[in-house]
């Protein structure tokens, strides 16, 4: 098999070292020796403790909370690898922060997702491997190849095993109009019907649910979204399904569990029976909520990394 660089090396920042270790375990390799820390004034430093000259290097780092620290760690690690003559550098970003700032929603808004893309390219990354970008067009913000893995095959497998023959009485629900295309693709794979919760957002992190489009009466619903932040939209959608749509039950799933602010409290008090998340972002303390369940993404990322290294197609991971 053709491979790029003399060998493969995987490094991790402090965002999600557990995921990086699981990826390495599945690949049969060890995590690269490095240190990423901060000086007393808060400046980040990076030290690489093994040679990377000519190597095909993968840096695993989600830009989740603390977003700016994790982003700077990624940029500085890429720069360190570039200056150490790495053969090729792939930024593996399971969760890409700032992705919601992908357009000008009003006058004089920045497009921060494009700025972050420019910074990653300027630091010296040769390609990006990520999962479920909030907006697919962010791939076009980079002037380097971007592989945007889809998390829905993991959820399809999970729910097919969980509900089996009971799928006939189930409906996939998009919590807002913006997520319809994503939810439709998921519903088609599970051979389920689609419904939409139409909402009107009043201001940031607050929304007002209006109505339910589609038949959910007496049905078991799966709310499907790409990320859960403060969980306001998701919990309001679940309430609308039960009260307005007269649904039988509500499950929910999302690729990225940001779970900031009042998210856990809202989830615990909501009509949602279970929230399935991928572990692109480190797991919360599960004692805080019995409703949260994490599904592993390490197998998909490990296979994608090996395929990129061997210069073979990764398209099968999207099916």
SS3 track for 30-69: CECCEEEEECCCCCEEEEECCCCECCEEEEECCCCCCHHH
CA 213 – CA 174 distance, rounded (Å): 10
The pLDDT tens digits of the residues spanning 286-309 come to: 999 999 999 999 999 999 999 999
d(CA 88, CA 4): 8
Residue 10 tokens, joined: 């995987």
Q: Are strands 193-203 and 170-174 parallel, antiparallel or unpaired?
A: parallel
Looking at residue 155, what DSSP letter applies?
Answer: H
Instruction: Judge whether residue 201 has pLDDT over 70.
Output: no
What is the pLDDT, as a whole number, of residue 176?
86
Q: Give ∠ CA 13-18-22 in degrees, rounded to 5.
A: 115
Give the pLDDT confidence score for residue 1 in this predicted structure. Answer: 44
DSSP conformation class of 28: T
The predicted pLDDT at position 168 comes to 78
Residues 6 or more apart whose CB falls under 8 angstroms from that of 108 comprise: none
Domains of the chain with CATH codes: 8-150+298-318 (3.40.50.2020), 152-295 (3.40.50.2020)
Band the pLDDT of 238: cuts 50, 70, 90. very high
User: Which residues are catalytic, by number?
Assistant: 199
Helix axes 298-309, 17-27, angle to 10 degrees: 60
Whole-model pTM: value is: 0.94
């Amino acid at each position: 098999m053709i491979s790029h660089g003399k060998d493969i090396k995987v490094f991790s920042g402090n965002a999600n070292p557990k995921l990086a270790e699981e990826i390495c375990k599945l690949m049969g390799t060890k995590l690269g020796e490095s240190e990423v820390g901060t000086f007393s004034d808060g400046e980040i430093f990076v030290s690489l403790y093994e040679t990377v000259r000519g190597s095909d290097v993968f840096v695993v780092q989600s830009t989740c909370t603390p977003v700016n620290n994790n982003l700077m760690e990624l940029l500085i690690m890429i720069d360190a690898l570039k200056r150490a003559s790495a053969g090729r550098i792939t930024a593996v970003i399971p969760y890409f922060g700032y992705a919601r700032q992908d357009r000008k929603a009003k006058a004089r808004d920045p497009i921060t997702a494009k700025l972050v893309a420019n910074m990653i390219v300027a630091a010296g990354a040769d390609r990006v491997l990520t999962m479920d970008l909030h907006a697919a067009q962010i791939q076009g913000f980079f002037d380097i190849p971007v592989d945007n893995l889809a998390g829905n095959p993991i959820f399809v497998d999970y729910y097919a095993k969980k509900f089996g023959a009971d799928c006939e009485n189930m409906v996939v629900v998009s919590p807002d109009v913006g997520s319809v295309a994503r939810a439709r693709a998921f519903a088609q794979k599970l051979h389920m019907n689609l419904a939409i919760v139409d909402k009107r957002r009043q201001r940031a992190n607050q929304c007002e649910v209006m109505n339910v489009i589609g038949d959910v009466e007496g049905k078991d619903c799966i709310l499907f979204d790409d990320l859960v932040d403060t969980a306001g939209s998701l919990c309001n959608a679940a309430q609308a399904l039960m009260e307005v749509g007269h649904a039988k039950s509500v499950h929910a799933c999302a690729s990225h569990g940001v779970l900031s602010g009042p998210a856990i409290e809202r989830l615990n008090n909501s009509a949602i029976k279970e929230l399935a998340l991928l572990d692109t972002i480190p797991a919360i303390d599960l004692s805080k909520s019995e409703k949260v369940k994490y599904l592993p993404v390490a197998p998909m990322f490990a296979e994608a990394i090996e395929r990129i290294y061997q210069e073979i197609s990764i398209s099968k991971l999207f099916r």
